[in-house]
Amino acid sequence: MTSNLAKHYLKTCLVAQTQKKHTATVIFLHGSGDTGEGVRAWVRDVLGQDFAFPHIKVIYPTAPERPYTPMMGHLSTVWFDRRKIANNVPENLDSVDSMADALGQLINAEVSQGIPKERIVVGGFSMGGAMAMHLGYRFHHDLAGVFALSSFLNIDSAVYKVLREQQRSTSPPLFMCQGTADPLVMPSWAETTHTEMKQLGVSSEFHVYKGLFHEMCKEELLLLKEWLLKHLPFPQ
């Protein structure tokens, strides 16, 4: 991923902020084929208001278009490529890692504005949640937290390998939600991810919503807001 493409992110991010000066940041990554504007509007529709906090900047980046194998190679706004939407195939780490570099520059831009990493959370919906887990547990393990909504990691994920090899004393806490009626991300994939992360020492919450499809619901977003305020509290 070139630095020019990384700069593209900084120019196209949508930002929700209630005050000019913020003391914490949330980076919210959309699912495959969506945009930052799209997921922000979706969250607003579900909640009936913007996903906003008086002291937290919420950033919604948009992935660049790239050929996407599950769509027969057609262009789509995705964070990385993969063979198919399944948890039993190898990860395409070249595409994951190049995107991690670009999004890492977005994190570093917040740091340069005076926001320490321990006051930054990354997360997302579906593919965005998987990308956030790679960011938070392979590249930026000093973040305040990671959230993954309707998301999963592959069985042989590089995230697990890094956690096993490094055996850190602390890792960012993880917040996961999953619907039982999701036809795209099997509930068992998300549950396996949560279980594996806990076994590897990550403090992980897993919330299941009966009858929820591949979507977000008001209850999980309200719970996510509580979790964010817990890990990114108002400054004393």
Strand 65-68, strand 74-77: pairing: antiparallel
Q: Which candidate, 190, 201, 203, 205, places its Cα nearest to that of 163?
A: 201
Question: Out of 32, 95, 126, 171, which one is annotated catalytic?
Answer: 126
3-231: CATH superfamily: Alpha/Beta hydrolase fold, catalytic domain (3.40.50.1820)
**Is residue 34 annotated as part of the catalytic site, yes or no?**
no
Instruction: Judge residue 113's burial from the number of C-beta atoms within 10 Å of its C-beta, 0-12 exposed, 13-18 middle, 19 or more buried.
Output: exposed
Q: pLDDT category, 1, cuts 50, 70, 90?
A: very low
Q: What is the spatial distance between Cα 123 and Cα 219, in angstroms, rounded to a whole number?
A: 17
Verify whether residue 140 is a known catalytic residue.
no
Residue 102, both tokens: 């670009």
Distance CA 202, CA 84 (A): 27
Average pLDDT on 99-128 reads 95
Q: Give the integer Cα–Cα distance in Å for 56 and 44.
A: 16
Q: Does the annotation count 214 as an active-site position?
A: yes
Please tell me the predicted confidence (pLDDT) of residue 11.
55
Q: How does pLDDT run across 16-52, given as a tens digit for each residue?
A: 666 678 999 999 999 999 999 999 999 999 999 999 8
Catalytic residue among 32, 182, 194, 204: 182
In the chain, what are the domain boundaries? 3-231
